[in-house]
Amino acid sequence: MSFTAWAHGHARSILFLFGSLALAGAVASFLLPVSLFPQVSFPRVRITLDSGDRPAEQMTVEVTTPVEEAVRAIPGVRSLRSTTSRGTAEISVNFNWGEDMVSAMLQCQSQVNKILPSLPTGTSFEVERMDPTVFPVIAYSLTSDSHSLIELRDLALYTLRPALSTVSGVARVGVQGGRVEEYRVTVDPDKLQSFNMTLADVASALSASNVLVAVGRLEQYDKLYLVVSDTRFKNFDEIEHTVLRSTPDGVVLLDDVATVEHSAEPQWVRVTADGHDAVLFQVYQQPSGNTVEIARGIKAKLREIRKQIPEGVKIADWYDQSELIIASEHSTRDAIVIGMVLAAFVLLIFLRDWKVTLIAILTVPAVLAATILLLYVLKMSFNIMTLGGMAAAVGLIIDDAIVMVEHIVRRVRAAREGDPRAQVLSAAREFTNPLAGSSAATIIIFTPLAFLGGVTGAFFKALSLTMAASLIISFVVAWLAVPILCARLLKERDAEIEEHGRFTRRVHEVYRDTMQGLLQQPRLVIVFLIPLLLLGFIAFKNVGSGFMPVMDEGGFVLDYI
């Protein structure tokens, strides 16, 4: 007994299996993460250093070079690239593809921490690995005509950021812009000199008078108490009456040599939105986060805490990555639906049987659902590469179903007599090898994309895997499910339908006449092909190239000096 015959003997079990896979895939489509790009761990770690207002030359000698030397000792480092400016430096550490980037990032942090005591006082650093999640997925601006930038920044830091960080899938919420409140002490040099004091004495006295420190423990009645000394300033007057020096001749207070006023830190970065000074807060997702769900969660949380936002504060979204992703999903859906409709139209014209058309069309959602289930098992996501792979595979999926259905219908109608089920079984067995060869040839074409190296391979691996999985599942469905459905749905009256309609006969006549003329004059084919090849070569030389296709997110970045 052949495998095809065995499959037809277990038709119900096989159809139940395919139906279960399709149903599970439909459920998985609601659980699969959604993002713009595949999850790619680029072999690069970025180290950002900040060391006050040191000139670039001094920054290079005292900060950038020591850090480069320390990081270069990490195993697997391929190259370094640094940019140094006044007070800041950025070092990009490139590793080989395939390195464990979490471990590489931790080693970079460790190396910088080792030499941190030898760097200038006050130097700080930040280490992050490069992947698609370093860019925000949704961003908002805060503007107001009645509230200061200090209030807007505090609102973003202490109200919005804690609330939005609780949304599932959010890694962090970054705040940019605004101003930081401070008290400014303006010292009168003449008065300071008259008391024989320096600016260092003033700074030291203020720092010593504004501390919170645990001074010890106190035990009483079997209870242990922590003793805390809190000398922090509680109001404006306490700052003015800070004791700078106490001598037998008298006490020198801060207001004797200086004036104190409310102020804000110097603003080196200015952020505007809609022509107003603004504060931005940007949401970053976790590597496994669902961009669309995160955007929905952020919007829901903002509606929930709206009552905590003061009157006169306007919150506006200026970037939402989920909109582009949803548009890509809709484009893929439209491509699939259009492909199915056109395929059904063609089948109805040439085969003139709605049952056959229904069988062929049902294979598309079944195959795509099973593919989605496989993506879920492999912990992949919906992104522009996987969605593109499924959209491109639709035509090949329909093609597998059409050729199998057409062959079965042709054999059933040619026999006319006898049981149609037996004819279906014979046709399926006869077409197994051609279908397998055709599917294998197509799958092999896309297989090498999964083994490309570098960043190109990291992106195209998702596309290759999606298309290969869709084609393999499509072959199995066309080989087993389609013949089983044909055997159960096709009746004797379907075999009696005339195979060729008037339109089909006309197409065959035109094709036959054309081929007879070309076979008599084969040189005409070469005359036609040579100009076509030349045009293709010219187009290949002149067509543009790039890593990613052009995408319009509805915005632009303007850099100026």
- Buried b vs exposed e over 494-532: b needs ≥16 C-beta within 10 Å? bbeeeeeeeeeeeeeeeeeeeeeeeeeeeeeeeeeeeee
- On whether residue 277 sits in a domain, the answer given is yes
Q: Are residues 420 and 339 in the same domain?
A: yes
Q: Are residues 512 and 407 in the same domain?
A: yes
Q: Are residues 331 and 461 in the same domain?
A: yes
Phi-psi region of 311 (alpha: psi -120 to 50; beta: other; left: phi over 0): beta
pLDDT (tens, 9 = 90+) of the chain, 561 residues, equals: 566 667 767 778 888 888 899 999 999 988 888 887 787 778 889 999 998 888 889 999 999 999 999 999 898 899 999 999 888 999 999 998 878 888 999 999 999 999 999 999 889 999 988 877 788 899 999 999 888 899 999 999 999 999 999 999 898 999 988 888 888 888 888 888 888 888 888 888 888 888 888 888 888 888 888 888 888 888 888 888 888 888 887 888 888 888 888 888 887 788 888 888 899 999 999 887 888 889 999 999 999 998 889 988 999 988 888 888 888 888 878 888 888 888 788 877 776 777 778 888 888 889 999 999 999 998 888 888 888 888 888 888 888 888 888 788 777 777 666 666 777 777 888 888 888 888 888 888 887 877 777 677 777 888 888 888 999 999 998 888 888 888 777 666 655 555 566 777 787 788 888 888 878 887 878 888 888 889 988 988 888 776 666 666 666 666 554
Q: Are residues 192 and 274 in the same domain?
A: no
Q: Are residues 365 and 291 in the same domain?
A: no
pTM: 0.71
DSSP state of 145: S
Q: Which residue has the tokens 């096989």?
A: 14
- On whether residue 560 sits in a domain, the answer given is no
Q: Are residues 54 and 80 in the same domain?
A: yes
Q: Are residues 481 and 420 in the same domain?
A: yes
φ and ψ at 158, to 5 degrees?
-110, -5
Q: Are 486 and 380 in contact (CB under 8 A)?
A: no
Pairing of strands 138-144, 313-320: antiparallel
Write out the two tokens for 429.
């067995």
Contacts of residue 285, defined as CB under 8 A and 6 or more positions apart, other chains included, come to: 35, 133, 137, 169, 170, 171, 291, 294
Max Cα–Cα distance, the chain, nearest Å: 127
What was the pLDDT predicted at 557? Answer: 63
Total count of domains within the chain: 4
Q: Are residues 256 and 289 in the same domain?
A: no
Q: Are residues 243 and 295 in the same domain?
A: no
Q: Which residue has the tokens 């999640």?
A: 133
Cα distance between residue 253 and residue 245, in whole Å: 7
- Domain housing 420: 3-37+324-541
Q: Are residues 319 and 344 in the same domain?
A: no
CATH at 256: 3.30.2090.10
Write out the two tokens for 499.
């195979």
- On whether residue 537 sits in a domain, the answer given is yes
What was the pLDDT predicted at 125? Answer: 92
- On whether residue 553 sits in a domain, the answer given is no
DSSP 224-280: EEEEEEE----SHHHHHT-EEEEETTEEEEHHHHEEEEEEE---SS--EETTEE-EE
Q: Are 123 and 49 in contact (CB under 8 A)?
A: yes
DSSP state of 135: S
> Measured between alpha carbons, how far apart are the two ends of the chain, in Å?
78
Q: Are residues 96 and 150 in the same domain?
A: no
Q: Are residues 140 and 84 in the same domain?
A: no
CATH at 391: 1.20.1640.10
CATH at 174: 3.30.70.1320
